[in-house]
Homo-oligomer: A and B are copies of this chain.
Amino acid sequence: MKKFLNNVDDFLTESLAGFAAAHADSVVLHTEPLFVRRRHLQPGKVALISGGGSGHEPLHAGFIGRGMLDAACPGQVFTSPTPDQMIAAAGAVETGGGVLFIVKNYSGDVMNFEMAAESTARKNATVLVNDDVAVDDSSFTTGRRGVAGTVIVEKVVGSLAEAGGDLQACQAFGDRVVKRLGSMGVALTSCIVPRAGRPTLVLGDDEMEMGVGIHGEAGRRRCKMMSANAITAELLDAILTDLSPARGAEILLLVNGLGGTPLGELYLLCDAAHRRLSADGMQVRRTLVGNFTTSLEMAGASLTVCLLDQEILEHWDSPVNTPALRWGA
């Protein structure tokens, strides 16, 4: 294992210290319990809190800021954060509008966020993200996994909260967006969890894991390496079969790198996806390409399709100012 680290036990705290130092103007790191929050809160706004195991950076802390999250609770690598983190974060960023927890559907995360939701004194609601169409039930999940589509949920619900949407409206909007999301990923190499020190999954030199989870969980099948066009077709077919969009539907496409794949290859996948979606009669109205929901150093990528409507499009386009996603005035 070759990684930039000092003591493996300090990996998370040192990494978060670097994050807080780099973005000291906009975020504050709290320890014991561990969470990251916006430096400047907006009174009365619904507070958006997410979190989950580390190793998926920039998810979630990279999306703290105006137009997205108010706080994020990082667990150890691929390990759920604990309820005390979420309760403390809620206490720190709730300013009268209540708390919306955005939770990726993994059993540990769901259980811990539920405990926090029951224990916090703050009014709260939860949006559960389960956009991964690859498999029902998985190593750490009952039901579908929550993956890169989470970024879209955090962006558009964050925008609604910023615009004054109340807790009920934000939750309802989040639930609606989740139903219009589908994702699937493929791994070309494994990730290595620092504490484990060895690859999570063992792939041959000509193999890939189609439908992989963001922790290296098994997907639909282990298969031989294919062309970018063939991989794109298989991912999009799975997603569109699940979403059943109308012909001519307007969509948002997210081409997400899993960590170890060069940006040039992600743009090549983007080209393949645009060609395929166009041939399928879809209209790609917005595209985002980059590493947003990663799996440490895994080489691979996922595609996410979100079926747009006017409300989702407006909240996607609205200004956002976070370390990892930033546009608009």
Contact = CB atoms under 8 A, between A and B. Distances in A.
Contact of A22 (B206, B208, B288): B288
A6 B229 contact: yes
Interface residues of A, number: 59
One complex includes copies of this chain to the number of 2
B17 A271 contact: yes
B57 A228 contact: no
B4 A274 contact: no
Given A297-B261, A329-B329, A5 B268 contact: yes
B22 A57 contact: no
A38 B67 CA distance: 27
A262 interface: yes
Interface in A28-87: 54-55, 57-58, 62
Contacts of A188: 2-4
A270 B21 CA distance: 8
A263 interface: yes
A14 B272 contact: yes
A11 interface: yes
A292 to B, nearest CB: 10
A106 B294 CA distance: 33
